[in-house]
Amino acid sequence: MSFADLKKNNKSIFQKLSTELEKSSSSNNGDDRLWKPQLDKSGNGYAVIRFLPAPDSESMPWAKLYSHSFQGPGGWYIENSLTTLGQQDPLSQHNSELWNSGSDSNKEIARKQKRKLSYYSNIYVVKDPANPSNEGKVFLFRYGKKIFDKITEAMEPQFEDEQPINPFDMWEGADFKLKICKVAGYWNYDKSEFARPAPLLGGDDAELEELWKTEYSLEEVVAPDKFKSYEQLQSRMKLVLGQGRSKQIDEEVTNEEEYSAPEPSYTPKFSKRESEPAPSASSSSSYQDDEDLSYFARLADA
């Protein structure tokens, strides 16, 4: 291309770059099994999804994952937390020490470095105006505590005139209307709600069984090989906190939901159903703000 052609075609080049940027922003870090809603030009988002039951040979319809994501003097620390597996985690221990020091400044540091709670579930996409090609397909959906609270409220409604539902039930569950708006620069899901209970796909058992068999393993999300060792995490933590020498690592991160910290660039590699049992998650240390819902803990222990 000559310089004259470059000048002549600048508008078409810009359009091509914009298209590629849009494709890149919706790529979910290269894993097409992960579904993520998108905002429209007005800054709002809307989709209808259906939470699916646990995959074959697994007991829970969600996986619970703790992670850390913050920037320190030595770069970014973006790692899964070993507390997910019920094990000691060096950063959690460090944060607990900061919190228990009694210093307000140390407590503020601990808050900035606290772990983030994420959930993974299989979903069926009923309606996706931003990407209609996703409709009628099964994906993995990563979501936070606010959406999980919506699920909890549906299963244990506040008022006696409200009928409890199991959002993960194919026959007696309900579609979830995901409504997103930006509040103070962050995605807000407060207006999201469940529709009236109705069978998925009209309750056709043959279709539902075929759909169920396409679900992805949730236990694999928290499989031990998705976590670094205590020693590796400790070494990385010291480098990020400026207690050692580190290369500057560029991480592409995005803000999501209610979290103030960047989203990890790491995405677990998923495969189809696995029958190995997942390790149980431990309770949080004293500095954590994440809530472990006793109702679901009882379900997990049942």
pLDDT digit string (tens) for 90-114?
A: 999 999 999 999 999 999 999 999 9
- Going by pLDDT thresholds of 50, 70 and 90, the confidence category of residue 185 is confident
Most confident of 28-32, 125-129, 181-185, 288-292: 125-129
Average pLDDT over residues 204-226: 96
pLDDT at position 2: 62
Q: Is 32 or 19 the better-scoring residue by pLDDT?
A: 32
pLDDT at position 246: 41
**What is the tally of structural domains in the chain?**
1
Cβ atoms of residues 240 and 76 within 8 Å: yes
- Going by pLDDT thresholds of 50, 70 and 90, the confidence category of residue 274 is very low
CATH label of the domain that carries residue 141: 3.90.198.10
pLDDT at position 13: 63
Cβ atoms of residues 235 and 42 within 8 Å: no
In a domain, 7, yes or no: no
Could you tell me the CA-to-CA distances from 115 to 65, 73, 98 in Å, in that order?
A: 10, 18, 14
In a domain, 9, yes or no: no
In a domain, 77, yes or no: yes
Helix boundaries (H) for 169-288: 205-212, 230-240
Q: Which amino acid is at 84?
A: T
Q: How far apart are CA 66 and CA 77, in angstroms?
A: 14
Using a 10 angstrom Cβ sphere, with 0-12 exposed, 13-18 middle and 19 or more buried, the burial of residue 184 is exposed
> Quick check: helix, strand or coil at residue 187?
strand
Q: How far apart are CA 181 and CA 255, in angstroms?
A: 13
Would the pLDDT of 81 be above 90? yes
Q: How far apart are CA 54 and CA 218, in angstroms?
A: 8
In a domain, 210, yes or no: yes
Would the pLDDT of 251 be above 60? no
In a domain, 24, yes or no: no
| Of residues 180, 191, 174, the one with CA closest to residue 130 | 180
Cβ atoms of residues 118 and 62 within 8 Å: no
Average pLDDT over residues 36-43: 90
In a domain, 20, yes or no: no
Q: Is 272 or 133 the better-scoring residue by pLDDT?
A: 133
Residue 96: which domain range?
A: 33-301
In a domain, 112, yes or no: yes
Q: Which of 23-37, 59-73, 108-122, 189-203 is predicted least confidently?
A: 23-37
Q: Which of 146-150, 180-184, 257-261, 264-268 is predicted least confidently?
A: 257-261
Average pLDDT over residues 16-30: 52
Would the pLDDT of 245 be above 80? no
pLDDT at position 285: 41
Would the pLDDT of 243 be above 90? no
In a domain, 50, yes or no: yes
Q: How many residues belong to the chain?
A: 302
**In the predicted model, what is the mean pLDDT of the chain?**
81
Would the pLDDT of 275 be above 70? no
